[in-house]
């Protein structure tokens, strides 16, 4: 048995020993493989972009399955939605005995309105709601069946203008880059020449760097071989991916059928790396970095959100000891806050009640004054009529006739 001793960076002595015979723990990766194949995999991908950029077609092309049914043209009506919607499609697909539960989250309506200032907000709210749902599951007593519906990757479709990112593109990525793995793609890249695509990519990356937007970067590991390192470098060099999506097949020379788009001058082949970056996108998203995307979502994006959430809830942590707020103190603070809130509500209700009482009293006082004035007026009128009648009575008793004017006025007549 041979042994080599060395000191690590932490000062701990590491002894490496060579086994004299077969033990068996080299078979651990096979055990993990069998368990993973048995349980299956799950992946949630979000696609964001304006209408007509080929999001549904690209998803169908990526997974070689009809996840999105063919769209039927529909007339616009006044009942069309006025906000960004969140729609999910889940499908169980299988390849060579490996099962994958794929969920695609679509965002119809994004960027399709006159005012798109808040188009990013429903999408951000949906991502954070999924984080909250996972955090709630972690806090349960029984955590054996946890469902992970967090967004693991977001394909952001950029319109092939050939100029630069639009303000809507910048605002969306700036708001969401700390919550999701952003993967920018140039949609319908066959509308641009190779030179235009290269220049457009440089402008996009310049805008991303200027606004300090973090897009997904493939991780590197210590034991990666040179071939893997070079493969990752080639994939990262293609970002943003210039892609062409199509699920239609055409026959080319030699009788080979390929997926692509047919033009009068030829066929753009989707799976040809000389024509577009679709192969590199599929390689990163599915073949080589799907687990890395899920790990980065869990270990970095979700952990950062979880830390912010727990700190906002009053849970504190220092480098050595996990400190939690005293539950009794927290309950007492909540009780005091609740009592203060009730006191404020009671004061407001009393003020409203007093204002209504004062208003009613004012109206009653005005009505009383009006009635008193009318009573006084009627009393004075009756008093005047009484005086007039007494005057008439006195004249009648004294035998003096009334003047003709008064007789005519009162309607009396006497015979002399």
pLDDT per residue over 240-284, tens digit each? Answer: 999 888 878 888 777 788 888 888 888 888 888 888 888 888 888
Round to the nearest angstrom and report the end-to-end CA distance of the chain: 165
pLDDT band of residue 14 (cuts 50, 70, 90) is low
Each residue's pLDDT tens digit, 65-92: 777 776 665 555 555 555 678 888 888 8
pLDDT of residue 378: 92
pLDDT of residue 253: 79
> Quick check: 16 pLDDT over 90?
no
8 vs 25 pLDDT, higher one: 25
pLDDT of residue 345: 92
Instruction: Supply the pTM of this predicted model.
Output: 0.67
Are 156 and 58 within 8 A, CB to CB? no
Please name the residue that has the structure tokens 């990112």. Answer: 165
Strand partners, 42: 101
Q: What distances in angstroms separate CA 401 from CA 387, 389, 409, 412, one per listed residue?
A: 18, 14, 14, 11
Please name the residue that has the structure tokens 């990013």. Answer: 120
Helix and strand counts by DSSP (H, E) for the chain: 11, 13
296 vs 314 pLDDT, higher one: 296
- Diameter of the chain measured on Cα atoms: 165
Residue 163: which H helix or E strand, with range? none
Q: Which stretch, 2-6, 85-89, 110-114, has highest mean pLDDT? A: 85-89
Please name the residue that has the structure tokens 């004012």. Answer: 362
Q: What percent of the chain has pLDDT over 90?
A: 31
Q: Kindly report which listed range (70-79, 210-219, 272-281, 351-360) carries the lowest average pLDDT score.
A: 70-79
Each residue's pLDDT tens digit, 24-69: 777 777 777 777 777 778 899 999 988 888 888 888 888 777 777 7
Query: Taking residues 201-226, what's their average pLDDT?
Result: 87
Cα 248 from Cα 257, distance rounded (Å): 10
pLDDT of residue 163: 84
Helix (H, G, I), strand (E, B) or coil at 248: coil
pLDDT of residue 70: 67
294-301 own/partner pairs: CB under 8 Å, 24+ apart: 294/43, 294/152, 296/181, 296/216, 296/219, 297/150, 297/151, 297/152, 297/180, 297/181, 298/150, 301/178, 301/179, 301/180, 301/181
The two tokens of residue 120 are 């990013």
Using the Cα atoms of residue 398, residue 404, residue 407 and residue 412 in order, give the sign of their dihedral.
positive
Are 284 and 218 within 8 A, CB to CB? yes
pLDDT band of residue 1 (cuts 50, 70, 90) is very low
Cα 380 from Cα 326, distance rounded (Å): 80
Are 82 and 119 within 8 A, CB to CB? no
208 vs 260 pLDDT, higher one: 208
> Quick check: 182 pLDDT over 90?
yes
63 vs 191 pLDDT, higher one: 191
pLDDT of residue 77: 53
pLDDT band of residue 309 (cuts 50, 70, 90) is confident
Each residue's pLDDT tens digit, 145-181: 888 899 999 999 999 988 889 899 999 999 999 999 9
Cα 386 from Cα 223, distance rounded (Å): 123
């Amino acid at each position: 048995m041979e042994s080599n001793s060395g000191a690590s960076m932490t000062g701990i002595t590491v002894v490496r020993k060579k086994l004299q015979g077969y033990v068996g723990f080299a078979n651990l990766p096979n055990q993990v493989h069998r368990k993973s194949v048995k349980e299956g995999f799950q992946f949630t991908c979000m696609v964001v972009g304006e209408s007509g950029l080929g999001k549904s077609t690209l998803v169908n092309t990526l997974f070689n399955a009809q996840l999105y049914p063919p769209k039927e043209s529909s007339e616009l009506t006044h009942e069309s939605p006025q906000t960004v919607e969140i729609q999910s499609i889940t499908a169980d697909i299988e390849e060579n005995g490996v099962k994958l539960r794929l969920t695609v989250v679509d965002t119809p309506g994004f960027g399709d309105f006159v005012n798109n200032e808040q188009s990013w907000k429903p999408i951000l709210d949906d991502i954070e709601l999924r984080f909250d749902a996972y955090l709630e599951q972690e806090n349960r007593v029984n955590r054996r069946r946890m469902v992970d519906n967090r967004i693991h990757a977001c394909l952001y479709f950029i319109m092939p203008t050939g100029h630069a990112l639009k303000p809507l593109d910048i605002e969306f990525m700036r708001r969401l880059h700390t919550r999701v793995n952003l993967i920018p793609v140039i949609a319908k890249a066959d509308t641009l020449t190779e030179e235009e695509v290269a220049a457009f990519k440089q402008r996009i990356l310049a805008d991303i760097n200027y606004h300090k937007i973090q897009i997904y970067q493939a991780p590197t590991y210590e034991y990666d071989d040179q071939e893997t390192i070079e493969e990752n470098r080639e994939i990262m060099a293609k970002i943003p991916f210039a892609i062409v999506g199509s699920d239609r097949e055409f026959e080319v020379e030699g009788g080979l059928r390929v997926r692509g788009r047919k033009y009068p001058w030829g066929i753009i082949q989707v799976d040809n790396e000389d024509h577009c970056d679709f192969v590199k996108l599929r390689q990163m998203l599915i073949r080589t970095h799907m687990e890395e995307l899920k790990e980065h979502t869990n270990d970095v994006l979700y952990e950062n959100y979880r830390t912010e959430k727990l700190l906002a809830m009053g849970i504190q942590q220092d480098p050595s000891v996990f400190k939690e707020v005293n539950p009794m103190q927290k309950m007492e603070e909540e009780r005091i806050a609740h009592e203060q809130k009730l006191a404020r509500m009671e004061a407001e209700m009393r003020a409203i009640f007093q204002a209504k009482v004062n208003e009613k009293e004012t109206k009653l006082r005005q009505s009383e004054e009006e009635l008193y004035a009318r009573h006084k007026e009627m009393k004075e009128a009756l008093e005047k009529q009484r005086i007039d009648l007494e005057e008439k009575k006195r004249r009648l008793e004294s035998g003096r006739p009334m003047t003709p004017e008064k007789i005519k006025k009162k309607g009396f007549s006497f015979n002399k």
